[in-house]
Homo-oligomer: A and B are copies of this chain.
Amino acid sequence: MKVITTKSELRSSLQSSRTDRKRIGFVPTMGYLHEGHISLVKQAKLECDIVVMSIFVNPLQFGPNEDLNRYPRDFERDCELAKKAGVDYLFHPDVSEMYPSQSLTYVRVGQITEKLCGASRPGHFDGVATVVTKLFQIVQPDRAYFGLKDAQQVAVIEQMVLDLDIPVTIVPCEIVRESDGLALSSRNVFLTPEQHQQALILSKSLQMAKDKLASHLFESTDQVSQFVIQQIQTQSLAEIDYVDTLQYPSLESPNSLTDDLLIAVAVRFGSTRLIDNVLVRHNNKEC
């Protein structure tokens, strides 16, 4: 595995692979890797000849009062995990390499970014769309891998790639969970044992809602969200940011319980904000 810190070196390293028409798979991350990230690398290795992972904590997608400085980092450990997973190129630019001058350009995706995390975190998805566009221009991958824990991010990136004609195939990958059900997240490291225990309500309530939906026990999508809220409120340390049930991937308000639905939650435990979701597909495959 080659660690690369500059855009120009990454481009020239990938040039020969591109000329040889090797398929380049790309896994963009903010580091502090866990099995969720590794599952993306595994999928990329199945489908591509070369796997590029980026590790870059992107300041542009953090709000002024968010946890940019506190976001966990351990590059040495990440290197070992990436190497073991079979990453070929680990791109690890610093902020001045990614934003060398005063950047004036934003990529903005409308509508889809207005709900859920987009409503809670103004500007967040402008930062995501902009940095992902930049990374796509630098790496020029054939396929790029994103975890569905950030289901809204996947929807935003897919819309952006479609709208801007970026020549990359987006591959959404299943959420990876701990054995107790907690969705893997770099931020889980901040949870106390008690917070971790109470946070299990997220996956549990979402799975219960999905099961009840399958058994036709809801009369409206509002009831779905209300059910999840009530479940989460049984946990004393949980502070709900949002719980919502929306069409996926448009994130429009659902017309009926038989739409493809995303049930998504964001909940704080102390100063740690967790997100989780389930997808309930009626029109394509069941996730």
Contact = CB atoms under 8 A, between A and B. Distances in A.
Interface of A: 7, 11, 19, 21, 101, 103-112, 129-130, 133-134, 137-138, 140, 159-160, 162-167
A105 B164 contact: yes
A104 B164 contact: no
Copies of the polypeptide in the assembly: 2
A164 B134 contact: yes
A165 B7 contact: yes
B163 A104 contact: yes
21 contacts: A19-B19, A103-B163, A104-B109, A104-B159, A104-B163, A105-B108, A105-B110, A105-B129, A105-B159, A106-B107, A106-B108, A106-B110, A107-B108, A108-B108, A130-B164, A137-B164, A137-B166, A137-B167, A138-B165, A138-B167, A140-B167
Contacts of A130: 164
A20 to B, nearest CB: 9
B21 A107 contact: no
A188 B106 CA distance: 34
Contacts of A160: 105
B110 A164 contact: no
Nearest to A159: B104
Nearest to A163: B105
Contacts of A140: 167
A110 B108 CA distance: 12
A133 B164 contact: yes
Nearest to A101: B162
Contacts of A108: 105-108
A119 B134 CA distance: 27
A283 B166 CA distance: 37
Contacts of A105: 107-110, 129, 159-160, 163-164
A3 B104 CA distance: 36
Contacts of A165: 7, 134, 137-138
Nearest to A106: B108
A11 B167 CA distance: 9
